[in-house]
């Protein structure tokens, strides 16, 4: 180990020839595997382009500007068939993001509730949670989606005999029509005041909480931020003159209701299916995370006089999160990717629109590439954000 030059691996060390030097052999093995892998990749690409040329496949992306000419169900963004394929694809992406975003939030809430129920000492609650988890974890999602869509949401009464729920909210085979608050022209001040309230409340919460932690002084940070959240919008409401918000009530007009907020049966069935399915997995993750906190921690917390609520919020949960977050990330990714099953129950997401574009534009290769790239981007961003969060809550060893 005397010479340290760049060529030192080729010189004899301790009388071992270089071809018997473990480091040299490892390096060679690395080079060989790199050659094999790169060679395979090159072969696949060359083969693919040859095959594409042989079949006369067009591999350009120019078709994205052409008019799509097909309709999209419940497009969310303004869409009509004269818009381009590229825009149709964007509509699909937005629909995927919408259902996954709402799905992730609801699945997390439901998952935590079921996970806590599973740990409850109440026998009935505990067993209900167990049954829920086992049923949902052991039935394929596609089956659950079909069950939610065809026998449940599709078998509701026809639109003329809608079930009227308080609100008024109408439930029929056409979906859920909800009376929904809509902003009136003069509502600008209200919107600004709400936005301002949220920002100020957050700032107050963070600053006052930090002061409380550093100085130990009682700063009533929860109360103060809640007060900001309530008072500012009220002031905004009063300033913006007579009722800035009007309730938009759905009215039966011809075949369908008009007005109000509408959720299609496809969307609701997909959301319910995804949320209940993923929540079962999240519940198990939450249960495992909570059980990973040593019972001694709880006993110690109780012995210093913390209430049950404080024990859960200040001692158990922060420690459980370290175990919960990593598997939770994969559940979020699963939910997002599973949303592509929407295709089979008539909710046209990214993959659904992609499949149509493949057919109508005859560009399978490009569209599959776009679909894969989009899911990859969504997943990578989700994991990036969650990993940053995960790093923040991990145990900092001092």
Partner 1 sequence: MKQKALLPLVVFTIFALLVTACGGAATPTAEEEVVEPMPAPSGSGEIINRVIERGKVVCGGRTDLLGFGYLNEAGRNIGFDIDLCRAVAAAVLGDAEAIEVFAITAADRGPVLQTAEVDMLSRNVTWTSSRDAQWGNFTIIMFYDGQGYMVRRDSGIETQEDMDGASVCVTSGTTTEKNLADDFRNHGLEFEAVIFEDTASVYNAYEEGRCDVTTSDKSQLAAVREGFENPGDHAILGMTISKEPLTPAVPHGDDQWFDIVKIVMYALINAEEMGVTQANIDQMKTSGDVGVRRLLGQEGDWGYTDLGLDSEALYRAIKAVGNYGEVYDRYMGPLGISFTLPRELNNLWSNRGLIYAPPVK
Binding residues for partner 1, per CB under 8 A? 17, 19-20, 25, 28-29, 31-32, 35-36, 38-39, 42-43, 46-47, 50, 53-58, 69-74, 80-82, 150, 154-155, 157-159, 173-174, 253-256, 265-266, 343-346, 348, 352, 355-356, 358-362, 364
**Half-sphere exposure of 305 toward its Cβ, with a 13 Å CA cutoff?**
0
CB of 101 to partner 1, least distance (A): 22
Q: Which of 12, 392 has the CB closer to partner 1? A: 12
Whether residue 177 contacts residue 165, with contact meaning beta carbons closer than 8 Å, is answered with: no
Q: Which is nearer to partner 1, 262 or 287 (CB)?
A: 262
CB of 268 to partner 1, least distance (A): 12
- Smallest gap, in angstroms, from Cβ of residue 136 to partner 1? 23
Nearer to partner 1, 102 or 364 (CB): 364
Q: Which is nearer to partner 1, 4 or 20 (CB)?
A: 20
Tell me the helices (H) and strands (E) count for the chain, helix number first.
12, 8
Q: Name residue, tokens 């809509």.
A: 182
Check the CA dihedral 8-11-15-16 and report its sign: positive
Nearer to partner 1, 56 or 216 (CB): 56
Rounded to whole angstroms, how far apart are CA atoms 70 and 66? 12
- The SS3 call for residue 183 is strand
d(CA 111, CA 328): 10
Cβ nearer to partner 1, comparing 287 with 363:
363
Of the two residues 43 and 220, which places its CB atom closer to partner 1 in the complex? 43
Q: Dihedrals φ, ψ of 167, to 5°?
A: 145, -55
In the complex, least distance from residue 56 CB atom to partner 1, rounded to whole angstroms: 6
Considering the complex, what minimum distance in angstroms separates the CB of residue 267 from partner 1?
A: 12
Task: Return the number of the residue (145 or 324) whose C-beta is nearest partner 1.
Answer: 145
Minimum CB separation of residue 3 from partner 1 in Å reads 22
Nearer to partner 1, 59 or 231 (CB): 59
Judged by beta carbon, residue 174 or residue 287, the one nearer partner 1 is 174
**Residue 137 exposure: Cα atoms within 13 Å on the Cβ side:** 15
The DSSP secondary structure of 305-337, one letter per residue, reads T--HHHIIIIIIHHHHHHHHHHHHHHHHHHHHH
Q: How far is the CB of 355 from partner 1 (least distance, A)?
A: 5
Burial label, 191 (beta-carbon count in 10 A; 0-12, 13-18, 19+): middle
Q: Yes or no: say if 349 and 96 are a contact pair by the CB < 8 Å rule.
A: yes
For residue 104, the minimal CB distance to partner 1 (Å) is 25
Min dist. Cβ of residue 159 to partner 1 (A): 8
Q: Tell me if 173 sits within 8 A of 264, measured CB to CB.
A: no
Q: Could you give the C-alpha distances from 48 to 45, 51, 365, in angstroms and in order? A: 5, 5, 10
What's the token pair of residue 327?
Answer: 């598997």
Helix (H, G, I), strand (E, B) or coil at 287: helix
Of the two residues 80 and 299, which places its CB atom closer to partner 1 in the complex?
A: 80
Residue 117 Cα distances to 121, 126, 286, 315, 319, angstroms = 8, 6, 11, 19, 19
Q: Are 163 and 221 in contact (CB under 8 A)?
A: no
Q: CB 175 → partner 1: shortest distance, Å?
A: 9
In the complex, minimum distance from the CB of residue 362 to partner 1, in angstroms, rounded to a whole number: 3
Q: Which letter does DSSP use for residue 148 in this model?
A: I
């Amino acid at each position: 180990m005397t010479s340290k030059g760049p060529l030192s691996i080729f010189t004899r060390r301790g009388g071992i020839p270089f071809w018997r030097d473990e480091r040299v052999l490892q390096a060679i093995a690395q080079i060989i595997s790199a050659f094999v892998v790169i060679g395979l990749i090159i072969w696949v690409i060359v083969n693919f382009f040859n095959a594409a040329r042989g079949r006369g496949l067009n591999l350009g992306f120019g078709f994205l500007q052409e008019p799509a000419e097909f309709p999209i169900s419940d497009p969310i963004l303004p869409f009509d068939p004269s818009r381009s394929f590229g825009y149709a694809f964007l509509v699909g992406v937005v629909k995927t993001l919408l259902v996954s975003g709402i799905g992730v939030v609801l699945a997390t809430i439901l998952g935590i509730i079921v996970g806590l129920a599973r740990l409850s000492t109440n026998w009935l609650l505990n067993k209900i949670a167990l049954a829920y988890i086992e049923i949902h974890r052991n039935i394929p999602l596609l089956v659950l989606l079909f069950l939610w869509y065809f026998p449940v949401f599709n078998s509701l009464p026809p639109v003329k005999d809608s079930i009227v729920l308080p609100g008024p909210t109408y439930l029929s085979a056409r979906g859920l029509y909800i009376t929904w608050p809509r902003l009136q022209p003069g509502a600008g001040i209200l919107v600004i005041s709400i936005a301002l309230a949220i920002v100020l409340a957050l700032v107050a919460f963070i600053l006052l909480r930090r002061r409380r932690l550093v100085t130990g002084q009682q700063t009533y940070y929860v109360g103060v931020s809640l007060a900001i959240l309530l008072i500012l919008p009220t002031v905004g409401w009063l300033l913006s003159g007579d009722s800035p918000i009007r309730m938009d009530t759905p009215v039966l007009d011809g075949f369908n209701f008009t007005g109000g907020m509408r959720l299609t049966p496809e969307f609701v069935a997909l959301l319910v299916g995804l949320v209940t399915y993923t929540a079962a997995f999240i519940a198990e993750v939450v249960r495992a995370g909570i059980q990973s906190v040593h019972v001694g921690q709880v006993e110690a917390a109780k012995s210093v006089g913390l209430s049950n609520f404080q024990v859960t919020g200040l001692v158990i949960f922060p420690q459980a999160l370290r175990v919960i977050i990593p598997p939770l990330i994969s559940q979020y990714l699963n939910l997002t990717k599973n949303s592509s099953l929407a295709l089979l129950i008539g909710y046209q997401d990214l993959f659904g629109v992609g499949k149509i574009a493949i057919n109508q534009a005859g560009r399978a290769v490009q569209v599959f590439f776009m679909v894969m790239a989009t899911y990859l981007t969504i997943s990578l961003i989700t994991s990036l954000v969650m990993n940053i969060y995960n790093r923040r809550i991990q145990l900092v060893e001092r």
